C-alpha cells in the first residue's frame, strides 16, 4: 500500500530560524496537499501541488513538489510563534478499481521558542 | 469557520456502548471524509462518501460504519466501543470526490471511552 513518511517528526526552533519538513512517498503521486493543524485545532488546507518540480510560495512559506512526484517539502523562512503547529502532507494516490484515498503523512510538529 | 459542522463536540461513554457522530458538510460540497486522530497521532483515514455513495475505504474497523444521507450530511456509527477507540474524530468535506480539491475540516468530536 501507499506509504508516506514525514521527517522530522518534531522540530524545535528559535524564533527567526528557518524550518523545513519533508514528505516522502514510496509511490508516484498524482498531487499533494499540505495542511496545518494548530494545537487544539483542526487541519486547515494550505496548498496543493500538481506538476512535477512545482514550487509555490505563500509569504514566508515555500512548497515544492519533486521532479519524480514522489516527495515534497515545506520550508518556512524566519519562523514566528504563529507558525506553531503540526504540518501534514496529504499525498493523493489512485486506488486500484477507481476512487481516491486521501491519506495524510505522519506530520511534523513545529515548536517555536522566543 | 470552515463551514463543516460536527456534533457533538464531546462524547463520554462506556466500553461496549454505541455512539453516533454527525457531520454536516460545507454548503455545495458533495464529498464527506471521516478521520480518526488519537492523542499525538496522525490522521487515520476511515471512509469517504460522495453524493450518498461510499467512494473509498481506509482503516475502518468492522465495528464502525458510516453513511451519507440524501441531504449530504453524514453519520459515523461506532459500536462495541473499546478504550482504544478514544480519539478525536474529524469530518471533512470537499467539492468533489476525486481528492483533487481541498478538504475542509470540522472542529471534530472528542470521544472518550471509559
Residue B85 C-alpha cell reads as 477507540
> Which residues of chain B have a CB within 8 Å of the CB of A31?
99-100
Test A35 with B103 for CB contact under 8 angstroms. yes
Closest-CA residue to B109 (of B10, B15, B4): B10
A20-24, A83-87, B96-100: range with lowest mean pLDDT: B96-100
CA distance B80 to B72: 26
Residue A24 C-alpha cell reads as 516522502
> Which residues of chain A have a CB within 8 Å of the CB of B106?
42
- Confidence at A98, pLDDT banded by 50, 70, 90: very low
Residue A94 has pLDDT above 60, yes or no: no
CA distance B101 to B94: 6
| Better-scored residue on pLDDT, A29 or A84 | A84
Amino acid at each position: 500500500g501507499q506509504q508516506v513518511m514525514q521527517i522530522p517528526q518534531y522540530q524545535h526552533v528559535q524564533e527567526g530560524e528557518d524550518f523545513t519538513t519533508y514528505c516522502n512517498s514510496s509511490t508516484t503521486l498524482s498531487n499533494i496537499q499540505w495542511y496545518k493543524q494548530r494545537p487544539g485545532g483542526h487541519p486547515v488546507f494550505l496548498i496543493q501541488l500538481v506538476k512535477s518540480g512545482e514550487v509555490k510560495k505563500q509569504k514566508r512559506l515555500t512548497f515544492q513538489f519533486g521532479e519524480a512526484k514522489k516527495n515534497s517539502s515545506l520550508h518556512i523562512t524566519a519562523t514566528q510563534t504563529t507558525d506553531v503547529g503540526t504540518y501534514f502532507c496529504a499525498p493523493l494516490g489512485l486506488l486500484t478499481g477507481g476512487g481516491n484515498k486521501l491519506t495524510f503523512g505522519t506530520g511534523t510538529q513545529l515548536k517555536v521558542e522566543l | 469557520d470552515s463551514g463543516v459542522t460536527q456534533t457533538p463536540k464531546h462524547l463520554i461513554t462506556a466500553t461496549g456502548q454505541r455512539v453516533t457522530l454527525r457531520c454536516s458538510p460545507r454548503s455545495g460540497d458533495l464529498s464527506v471524509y471521516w478521520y480518526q486522530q488519537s492523542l499525538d497521532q496522525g490522521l487515520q483515514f476511515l471512509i469517504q462518501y460522495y453524493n450518498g455513495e461510499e467512494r473509498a475505504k481506509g482503516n475502518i474497523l468492522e465495528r464502525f460504519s458510516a453513511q451519507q444521507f440524501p441531504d449530504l450530511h453524514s453519520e459515523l456509527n461506532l459500536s462495541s466501543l473499546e478504550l482504544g477507540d478514544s480519539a478525536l474524530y474529524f469530518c471533512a468535506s470537499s467539492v468533489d470526490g476525486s481528492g483533487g480539491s481541498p478538504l475542509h475540516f470540522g472542529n471534530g468530536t472528542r470521544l472518550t471511552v471509559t
